[in-house]
Structure 1
Amino acid sequence: MKKKEKEMFETLLKERRAELVATATSAKDNRLVLEREDLPDEVDLASSEADQAMNMRLKDRELILLKKIDKALLKMQNDEYGICERCGEEIGVKRLEARPVAELCIRCKEETEKLERAFAD
């Protein structure tokens, strides 16, 4: 990978990481926990609980993405970024542009998904 491309991906990953951290901090600061007494009826309570469950799932996804970004940044420091963890080949720039935290080249990712589908059926 060219130095300029690596710098571009590093900047992109750091910016996305900062966005995720800012979002998490903002959500934490603005969190409003509703008590049962604050909700007029059971429909409101059920709706509130569903909203909270969806927000928790979103936060889980953001945390997973944050960990993947940190892993990618660490790989950059070790000059391992853009190398497929399975076959050791370079991950294509187009794939990294689409998914900067990609750990597998497109060929290995497709093989992995094919195996997963086979076991799911």
Structure 2
Amino acid sequence: MPSSSKPLTEAALLKMPASAYMNAAQLAFFRERLEALRDEMLSNAADTGEHLKENENFADPNDRATVEEEHMLEQRVRDRERKLLKKINSALTRIETGEYGWCLETGDPIGLPRLLARPTAEYSIEAQERHERKEKLHA
């Protein structure tokens, strides 16, 4: 029996037959990718928290304004990451429930290329485009 301890690569993933879609190896690949992304974001958030706690005193008001602007930008990035963190946790839950990789609207496969580009994808490209068109109409 060959050892399966070697991690699956993107190329090997894409070479798998369609019948292997969302098999155990593929699910493990995406779980690992999502967990790594989640861990990186949690680490960034902790770093930001420490960075924002630093209380610097500046004699020059321009220096203070620059630092405050940097803090605001950093917080906006972390807000975006917080939203992405919710999507990552949702994707990890879908892996556990066997729903990962399948469009929540149609039940069709989302597709490996799309999941590699956006591992938190919940919809096939067609369903996502429909959602975006509806959003534009109602905006």
TM-score (norm 2): 0.75
Which AA in structure 2 matches 1:23?
N
Which ranges of structure 1 fall in alignment gaps of 5 or more residues? Answer: none
In structure 1, C-alpha distance between the alignment counterparts of 2:68 and 2:44, rounded to whole Å: 21
Rounded to whole Å, the distance in 2 between the matches of 1:27 and 1:54 is 11
CA–CA separation in structure 2 for the residues paired with 1:46 and 1:11: 40
The 1:46–1:30 alpha-carbon spacing in structure 2 relative to 1, beyond 3 Å, is: closer
Q: Quote the Cα distance in structure 2 between the aligned partners of 1:66 and 1:77.
A: 17
In structure 2, how many angstroms separate the alpha carbons of the residues matched to 1:40 and 1:29? 22
Structure 2 gaps, min length 5: 1-21
Percent identity for Structure 1 against Structure 2:
35
Give runs of ≥4 in structure 1 deviating > 4 Å: none
Q: 2: distance between equivalents of 1:41 and 1:22?
A: 32
Structure 1 window deviating more from structure 2 (23-32 vs 80-89): it is 23-32
Match of 1:96 in 2: 115
1:5 to 26, 45, 50: 26
Task: For 2:128 and 2:103, locate their aligned partners in 1 and report how far apart those are by CA, in whole Å.
Answer: 9
1:60 aligns to what? 79
Query: Is the Cα–Cα contact under 8 Å of residues 104 and 122 in structure 2 kept in the other structure?
Result: yes
Residues 41-90 of structure 1 deviation map (CA, whole Å, 9 limit, x = unaligned): 33223222211111110111111111111111111111111121222222
Bigger CA drift: 16-25 or 102-111? 16-25
What is the total number of aligned residue pairs between the two structures?
Answer: 118
